[in-house]
Structure formats: structure tokens, C-alpha cells
Chain A
Amino acid sequence: MSNQKTLIEEKVINEDVLNKMEIIRKNMPAIFAGDSESYRQKLVYNLLNIIRSGNMQQFLWTLLRHLNAKKESSETKEVIRVINELYGYSSKFFEKWAYSVIMGIMETESQKEEG
């Protein structure tokens, strides 16, 4: 019975993580829309290197430093809230949501054009 409960819990958590990844990805373009292309490319490059080293603290530090300048926007607030919640989950989800951040930044320009 307890085993079954754990399985269900895990399923719920997994779905929650996926939803939150989606929220991050959707909000990133609006946050970085005002920045230049080369700024975003450099940031993406840096973040990719950091994930590769597996250093979650440094990833957060770098990301938050960049978000700090845009903390007034509602999208930034939403992303920070979600990351805060994800931070509470096991670190095994780190790569999943971290890559969602990067993908969101990489998708930025097209959203800006659409907007």
C-alpha cells in the first residue's frame, strides 16, 4: 500500500514539475525581450556550461543576478515563485527545469516579433 502511495506521489510530483517547466519556458521570452541578441547568446552559453558542471548553486546565482535587474516585471515574479517551489523538490529535477530556463531564453526573439 505504502509502495503504491509513493508511486502516485511520484507521478503527481512529476506532473507538477512538467507544468512548472512549461511556466518557466513560457515566461522567459517576455523577461529577456528587451535585451540584445548577443547578451542572450552569451548568457545561454554561460548557463549551458554551468549546468554541464552540475553546479546548481552557481546556476541559480547567475540566473538570479540576471533576473534581479528585471525584478519589477510580473513574469519575473512568476518565474522566481516557480523556481522557488521547484527548489524544494529533489535535486534530480534540477537539469529538467534548468534547461527549460535556457530554452525559454533561446526562444525569445520570435516571441518579441510576434508581440
Chain B
Amino acid sequence: MSKELKFTGNWFIDLGILGFVNLMEEVYGKEYQSTHEWFYYAFFIFYVKKTVKDWISRQGIKKKTDTDELFFQDKETLLKEIENIIEKSIKRFLTKEKNRQSVRNELKGINSEIKKKIIKTFQRYKSFLNKPLNNKDIIDKVNSIGVAVSESFFQNLNFLNPSKNKFGKEDEVLASFETMLFEHKIKDELTVDAFDKTISKFIFSEKEFPNVIMGKIPTIETLKGFVPVDDPIFLLLSFPASFIKTDRFMAFYTPNFQFTYSVNKKLKTYLDMARKKSQSEILKLTWQSIIDFLFETKAEFSLENMYLIEYENIIQQELKGVQYIGIPKLQAEFIIDDKIREALNQKIKVLEKGDKQYQWLLQEFIKNKPLLPIFYRNLGLYFTQKDSNSKQKRKFKNTKSLIYSAALDKVIAELNIKKTNLFSDDFFFRNKLVLEKAKDTIRGYFHLKSIIGKLFSQDSPDERKTLAYRLFSRLRKNQKYSFVNEILKALNGKDVDDVKTLINHIFRNILSNDKTWQSDAVPFLAGLIGGGSDE
């Protein structure tokens, strides 16, 4: 009996559903049955295809030879041939009777056919091949492995473990998968049906299960009531297929299936297109695809809770660098604005424990973190770096982002300070009002910056930088009055009309403001080191 695919609200199960749909769709398109046999076949076809594609793309040749171009052409042809083999196999599978044995035979057949093709293609380059696959070239790899599959997420499971998955052991590998899929025997030493770390990296292992005295370990059977497919093990095994690989593994999640599916699909398409571009491009695109979708579905998105779930890698069966990033609705509303998004879609260089690193403003913003502290570290670098060439008195490059960040920090902080009523007249429009306020603040800051730029245009770059540094060090140390003193001293004697505008700002937003004065002090810095108008 098949059920309607719906998300459960539990992100772990839901990403399993997404992975399941990805996996089945990759093999069968939109029409498939969620039975064990269909899943069994799809799982291996999905991973064989993914694995050999990965191996082929990583395989290179050592020296620049005359055959270089030919080598890449051969790789392309091979990929097409493999696609054909798989397509034919799928057609065969769809027309045949489906049982454990017939699926196993089909998989064994296609596995050896693909392996033969690989060997045939690469054989003539054998002496030039480098060894990107655990110190092996692709021919040695194919000759030593049983079923050509690899998935670091499940390397602990027998069928994927390199020590078990060896040439000639194809039957054992597939049989071990079958026992797991059909009988829920995950590993010999575990309770049958146990739902523990062996099958899901996010939970405890049976051995270290903390309340084993109080109760039994959960079983896959217990999940049955919650999931919209016939057997929860489909979802557990499909889980890694929901993640998209960039420099890390990431998945976008929101409790709405359609929304999650579309964003991830878009994310994948964008990333495939950008695969050859730089790392920073890929990061940009991740956000771009999410934002694009937010933009298309403006009406619905604000109802959803959005998360990015990421992990860097799996080392010794431990997930490394796991992050769950919630995207707050307020922040989502801001990044829909083109100008704000563009200003925040920047990497900012900072010093982190002595090393130079980059921080992604948009990402920090979505994590609901203030942005000015990033700029303090960035400006620290800017002021301490020596100008190697006196002709190139470096201007500060991130002025625009700096001003936007300061303004956003201010309006969000003020929103938090003012939060007194749980529900009031402007409840439904609050985010919109805040966005308008942010835009006004940004405009105001740019105006102040241009006045400062004009007033100090006669000073040399060195003088401007020195004054900026003095202001910056007061700003960073949160010395408000000292900052005011310094800026008033610098303004003393300048054109009174302009000074009046600036003093009005200092009086209202800095002198009388103990909470967010740092943001309001930023335009002065920006005017001194940023130069020009770049709104």
C-alpha cells in the first residue's frame, strides 16, 4: 500500500524522504512503486552511477602527453556508454518479474558490464594513469572492488565496507544488503531491527545507548507509524542522497515537502552549472538558489521555518563540522531585497587566531549574528597592513557592505530593545516596517559618508587614514565620548553648514544613544577611508 508522501516535521525523517525521492527519481523518473525490490534496484543503480562517474572524473594522467585530448574524449564517450548500459538495464528491470534473486542477477550483470567497459577504456593509458583513488588508479580500483559502489556515510555497513566489498564477493555484498533491507538485520552484533548509530550517524550506537537500563533501544519497526513509506529503512538508507556536495555536504530543509524539494533541486542545478567555477562562486550560488526560491514563493515562505543542514565530512564514522542553520523570517525578508542581498553577499577577510580567513556576511546575517564585529576584525587588518606602494594608498574596499551591515545591525538591535508587546497593531507588518526603516538608515548613512568625504577631501590619504584609525580604535573599545571628542576636534573649523548636519546626527544618534551608537559612528569611518559615493 503506498501512502501520500508528506513531511513529518522531523527533519531527520524528512530529509530521508527527500533522499528517497531523489534516489528513485534519478532511476525511474516520476513513476515508481515504493516496494523493497524497486528500492533495492534503484539504490544500487543510483550509487553505481554516482560512484563510477566520480571515479572517472577524478582519474587523470600523469604527464602531459600527446594523447591528452584523446584521453578526455575517451572519458566522455565512456560516460555516455555507461549511461546507455544503465538505461537498457532499467528497461529490462521494468519489464521483468521482480524478486530478490532477479534484482540481484540484474545488478551483478550491470556491475560487471560497467567494470569491463571501464577497464577497456583505460587499459591503453595504464602506464600514464595517476592514482587518485586511495593510491590506486581506476583499473586497479575496479579490479579490486566487488560492487562498484561507495558512500562514506555508510562505510560501516558490511556491504559498503572496503574490507568486505572485494572482487569476487559480489554475491555476499548484495546478500548482506538484502538481509538489511528485507529483514532489517543491520549487523550481526546488533539487536535485529535496531535503530541506532550504525544506520544513522545522528543517533547513539546501541553500545553507548544512555537509557538502556530504563528502556529498550528504538527499532526501525517503531518508526513505521511516522513515515509515509512502507518501510522506514528506505528513508534511513536514502538519507545521504538528500545532501548536495559542495566543499561540504549540505541540504536545505523546511517542513514543507514541495518547498524543500524545489529549493534543493534548484540548488543542485545551480551547483552543477558552477562546478568548475571557484569555491566562492559555489557558496554564493547556494544562497542564490535559496533566495531565488524565496523570491518566487514570497507568499508562502514566510510561513515556513527554514534550515540549512550541513556537515563537512565523515571521519571514522563521526560526522565532522555539523551545522544546523535556521533562517529567521526577519532576515529572510531582508535578503529578498536585491540591494541588501548584494551588499551582504560578500566574503570579508578577518584574522582568526593568527590566520587570515574569510567570513561570509550573508551567512552570519542569517545566523542572526551582528555583522559589525566582523568588520572590526577586517578593519583591524586594513589599518595594520602596510601600503607597499605609496601610489596605491589603499582605499577600504568593503565600504558599501560596511555601511549596510552597520545599518542592519542597528535596526535589528533596536527591534530587540523595543520588543515589549507580544501582539500589537503592527504585528503583521512589523518586518515590512523594519525593512523600510533599514533602507532609510542606509540612505542616511550614505549621505553622511559623502559629507565627510567632501569635508576631508583636502586632507592627504595618510591624514585621513590616521584620523580614521583613531576613530576606529575608540569605536572598537566602545569609548563613545572619546569618539565624539575626536570627531568634534576634527570637525572644528570646517564648513558650518555641513558640520551642522553632522552634529545633528552625532547629537541624536551617538551622544544620546548608548545602545547602538557604534553603527551610527560607522559613516564617519566610511567617509574617511572609503572615498567616492558607491551606494
Contact = CB atoms under 8 A, between A and B. Distances in A.
Interface secondary structure of B, over-half rule = helix
A51 B485 CA distance: 8
A95 B481 contact: yes
A51 B480 CA distance: 13
Interface stretch (A5-13, A55-63, A83-91, A101-109): A101-109
Nearest to A103: B503
Contacts of A45: 489, 492
B137 to A, nearest CB: 72
A115 to B, nearest CB: 13
Contacts of A99: 481, 484-485, 488, 511
Contact of A48 (B489, B493, B507): B489
Interface in A16-55: 18, 21, 25, 37, 41, 44-45, 48, 51-52
B486 to A, nearest CB: 9
Contact of B503 (A48, A51, A106): A106
B481 A106 contact: no
Nearest to B498: A110
B482 interface: yes
B500 A96 contact: no
A107 B496 contact: yes
A76 interface: no
Interface residues of B, number: 18
Contacts of B489: 45, 48
Nearest to A51: B485
Given A48-B488, A48-B489, A106-B488, A96 B497 contact: no
B499 to A, nearest CB: 6
Contacts of A37: 493
Nearest to A107: B500
A103 B488 contact: yes
Interface in B392-438: none
B491 interface: yes
Contacts of A18: 512
B506 interface: yes
Given A48-B485, A51-B481, A52-B485, A110 B512 contact: no
A103 B492 contact: no
B491 A110 contact: no
A27 to B, nearest CB: 14
B511 A100 contact: yes
B488 A110 contact: no
25 contacts: A18-B512, A21-B511, A21-B512, A25-B507, A37-B493, A48-B485, A48-B489, A48-B492, A52-B482, A96-B511, A96-B512, A100-B507, A102-B488, A103-B488, A103-B506, A103-B507, A103-B511, A106-B488, A106-B496, A106-B499, A106-B503, A107-B503, A109-B496, A110-B499, A113-B496
Given A37-B493, A96-B511, A102-B488, 17 more contacts: A18-B512, A21-B507, A25-B507, A41-B492, A45-B489, A48-B485, A48-B488, A52-B485, A96-B512, A103-B506, A103-B511, A106-B488, A106-B492, A107-B496, A107-B503, A108-B496, A109-B496
Interface of A: 18, 21, 25, 37, 41, 44-45, 48, 51-52, 95-96, 99-100, 102-103, 106-110, 113
